Structure formats: C-alpha cells, structure tokens
Structure 1
Amino acid sequence: MRSGELARLAGVTVRALRHYHEVGVLAEPRRDSNDYRDYDLHDLVRLLRIKRLAAVGIPLERMPDLLDDAPGDTGALLDELDAELAGQIDRLTSQRALIAHLREHRVAPDLPPELAPFVAMFAAADLPPELMRFDRDQTVLLAHLVGEAAMPHLTRFYRRISDPTMVPLVSAVVGRFSRLGADSTDQEISSVVDSFTTTFHGLVTEFAEQDLLDLGSSADLVSEHTADLLNEQQLQALAQIEARFAAP
C-alpha cells in the first residue's frame, strides 16, 4: 500500500508518517518499480502501536525499546509518565488560578500577579496614560530585579501606597509630577518635590531603614529606564526628591 492509504487506515497524516521515518521509530519500507514507498500490514500494525504509545504520553525517542524488544516490566516507565503528567496538571491548575486572579482584577497578563491589583487601582484613578505606561513598565522591571525573595517586600510597598487613604494623595502628587514639562518653572518643580517628599516620606524612610528593597547593582537599570522615559523637568524633580531622601 502507498503512504496515503497507510496514513488513512492508521488515522494519521502523511506528514506524521514521514516524521516517524525521520526519527527512526518506523523503518523506511522498500520501494516499488516507480520508486514509491510500498507498505504492508506489518507497517500498519507498528504504526498503530506507535499511536497507542503516543496516546499514553511516551515520547518518540523512548519508543524503539518498547517496539523492538520483548514486552517487559513497564511499571517504572508508567510511574515516570504519571509523575510528569501530575506535574503538568499542577502547572495548568496554577495557570488557571493565575488567569482567574488577573480576570478578577481586570489587569493585563503581562503584569506580576502579586502587584496587578495595585496597578489596576491606580489605573482607575484616571492618571495620564503615559504615566500609567511608565508605572506598568517600572512594575514589571522592579518585580524581575528584586526576585522572589524580596517580592513580599515589594508587594507590601505597593499595598501601602494603594491604601484607600493614600490613593488620592498619591494620585494628586503623581498627576502634578506628570504635568512637569518645558514650561515648568523652578518654583513649580520645587513645589512638586515638596509635595512628593511630604506624601512619601514616612513610607520611603521605613523601607530604606529596613533595607527591604535594595536593588544593588541593578539600581542602574532602573535609573536608565527612568531617564529614558521622563522629560528633563521630571528628571530634575526626581533628582531633588532623591537628594531629599538621601539627606540625614
């Protein structure tokens, strides 16, 4: 029989048939006078066995031993496959829980799930779109840089600034910060710095004293990202804010 007929009888595609030849689980048959592959019933039986092993989850590279050797104790192999499937189920269950969490808070799936609710809260505060993009990108970057060990501290920081009593204050000062631009005077920049320092002083001091969010050498990456996205006046204000917090 030709490859098309064999594939139809076995319920596979001709492409799959060729792949089985390439990986060596199904030997190439002899060719007829027209140079077409000529399969027989033995090839069909082997192909059906390959399908059955694949349905159990056995990878192609492990099939030759099962196909070519006398049947033996496959308990260890089945135990291994069962453990792999259990791991996949656990991962899929975790992914579904994560999706439910993101759906509940109506946030994009590219955000760290621990911080997504807090980002969503500020998104609802009607801040300028460009500032929300900056906040989103900084959140993604910070979550990566602090790592799993410090993630609870970063989450705690976001939770604190997302407290219902803090959101209006934070939104107001961040909104003023976002409006700084080429027309802003030194006095306007200084006023924003004063408001920012007053609003965040207690929180920043608390985390700085406990050294909870020390980025070490990675801090340069955050600075580079910030410098790339903020305008000159905003960077001036940020430098003054950092100087204020650094002062004894």
Structure 2
Amino acid sequence: MAWSTRELADLAGTTVNAVRHYHQRGLLDEPDRRTNGYKQYGVPHLVRLLQIRRLRDIGVPLGEIERLGAEVGTSRDVLVAIDAELKETIARSERTRAEIAEMLRHGSVTEVVTNVPEGFARVAPRLSPAERSLTLVYSQVFEPTAMDDVREILEADADPATAAFESLPADADEETRDLLVNQFADTLAKTFVTYPWITTPEAHLQQDPASAGAAMGETIRALYNPAQLDVLARATSLARARAGG
C-alpha cells in the first residue's frame, strides 16, 4: 500500500504543508516516486510522521527532534522544561479566569476587558476614561507591588477634587483653576505621604527611568486637556511642598 502526500497527511491528522516542512527540515525521509513522478509514502513514513506529531503535541521543539535525528523520544531535561512552561501557562490561565470572573461579577465587561490591567476590574467603572488608560500604561511602567498601591489609591472613596480635575473643561477660567489647584494639592499631598515612593519612583520601575518618564509624560499630555495639565503641574508642585518632599 502506498499513499500520496495528501493521503499521508490525512491519515496522520496533519497538513500537506506540514509534511513538506518536515521534509525540508530533514525530519521525514523523502519517499520513492512512481513512474509518473507522484510520491509513494509507506508505513515507515506514516509511523515517523505520527512520532513527530506526538512529540510536537507535547511541546517538543522541532530543533530537539532534529537533534535526535532518527531516534524516537526526547530528553528528560526537555520534558522538565516543557512541564515548567505548562505549569506557568496553567497558572496564567487561572489568573485570567479569575480576572474574567471579576469582570462578570462587576458587570463592567466593556469597560474592563481592554481598558484596565489585571486586578482593576472592580474599580474600573468608577474611573474616568483617562484614568483607565493611565492604569494600562502604569502596568507596563511600575512593578506589581507599586500597582497594588495604585489600585488601593483608586479604590479609596471618591474624592471631590479628583472628580473635579477629571471633568475640568479645557476652557476653565483662571479662578476655577486656582481653586482646584489648592484642593487637588491636598489630595495629592495625602497620597504622597501615604505612598512616598510616588515622588521618587525609580526603585519601583520595570523600565529605565528615562523611558518610564517619557512614557508617562507623553501619556498624560495626550490624555488631559491644557487646563488639566496646568492644574496638575501646579497642584503637584504644591503637594510636594505640603508633603515635605
């Protein structure tokens, strides 16, 4: 009995392209050909293809299969490495499932799925669009322990000054800005006292300070209007003084 490439692929539960790829990698011997030029695959080809598929199904890299050549199987070290990867994949999947459950529990799927990082589902509905976007950027800039603090800050009772800042229109007059600067500075000062690392975040960054600072600066400038940026700059400076930093 001889099989064509298509028949062999179907029997092995794979594709013609995969068979050709294994030929190119030297993993599967080329078959004999009929007088008309068509390939004739036999049982040894089918068994070898099934062996390759079995190894690939459990995660053995093609490079490892190439290294073994005609031998069947893999090394203990490779299996241990694959098992470690699977363990991490399972843990990641469990975290993802827990996050999805949190999203569904709080009924904020559309706001949460793409707009806040892991762990922020509960607080997402009460955040402004800018705050949600900031948390995403922060999650790439700050280490996990710092993000825990960010989540605590956002989960605290709603602060009138923060709400006023988030809704401040671009054409806010100077009097409105001055009043908000003073109020918002108090909010920021309390945060700086409770979480002093915020004023000197270098030890809590996942990236180099220059890259992190540029990312955060660009994000804030893109998300907030000129009036908000003015209030934020002045309130931050005033808050540092009030916090003693």
With the shorter chain as reference, the TM-score category is 0.7 to 0.9
- 1:1-248 superposed matches below 5 A: 1-64=3-66, 68-69=70-71, 78-79=79-80, 81-105=82-106, 106=108, 107-120=112-125, 122-123=126-127, 132-159=128-155, 162-163=156-157, 167=158, 169-170=160-161, 172-174=163-165, 178-182=167-171, 184-207=172-195, 210-212=196-198, 214-216=200-202, 217=209, 218-247=212-241
Q: Note the alpha carbon deviations across 1:116-170, whole angstroms, 9 max, x for none.
A: 32232x24xxxxxxxx2221122222232222242333233223xx32xxx1625
Q: Any stretches of 5+ residues in structure 1 without a counterpart?
A: 124-131
- SS state at 1:58 partner: coil
Task: Determine what percentage of the aligned residue pairs are the same residue.
Answer: 29
Mean alpha-carbon deviation: is it higher for 225-234 or for 79-88?
Answer: 79-88
The whole-number CA distance in structure 2 between the counterparts of 1:72 and 1:186 is: 75
Larger radius of gyration: 1
* Alignment CA distance shift 1:190-1:98 (3 Å): same
**Superposed displacement of residue 193, structure 1:** 2.0
Deviation at 1:26, TM superposition (A): 0.7
CA contact (8 A) 1:6 1:44 kept: yes
How many residues are aligned here? Answer: 228
Give the secondary-structure state (helix, strand or coil) at the position aligned to 1:116: coil
Deviation at 1:7, TM superposition (A): 2.3
In structure 2, what residue type is equivalent to 1:179?
Answer: L
What is the TM-score when the length of structure 2 is the normalising length?
0.74
Alpha-carbon distance change, 72 to 54 in structure 1, aligned in 2, over 3 angstroms: closer
TM-score (norm 1): 0.73
Name the stretch that deviates more: 146-155 or 213-222: 213-222
Structure 2 stretches lacking a partner, 5+ long: 203-208
Cα distance in 1, alignment partners of residues 74 and 117 from structure 2: 46
For 1:78 and 1:134, how far apart are their aligned partners in 2? 46
Residues 109 and 221 of structure 1: CA distance in aligned 2, closer, same or farther (over 3 Å): closer
* SS of residue in 2 equivalent to 1:88: helix
Q: Is the 8 A contact 2:65 2:74 kept in 1?
A: no
Query: Structure 1 residues 108, 213: closer, same or farther in 2, change over 3 A?
Result: farther
Q: Structure 1's 235 and 87: CA in aligned 2 closer, same or farther, altered over 3 A?
A: closer
Farther-moved stretch of structure 1 (221-230 vs 20-29):
221-230
3-state SS of 2:45 partner: helix
Q: Residue type matched to 1:102 in 2?
A: M
Per-residue CA distance 1:195-225 (angstroms, 9 max, x = gap): 3234444334433xx3355234434542332
Output the CA distance in 2 between the equivalents of 1:240 and 1:76.
Answer: 58
In structure 2, distance between residues paired with 1:73 and 1:14: 25
Compared CA separation, residues 104 and 213, structure 1 to 2 (3 A)? farther
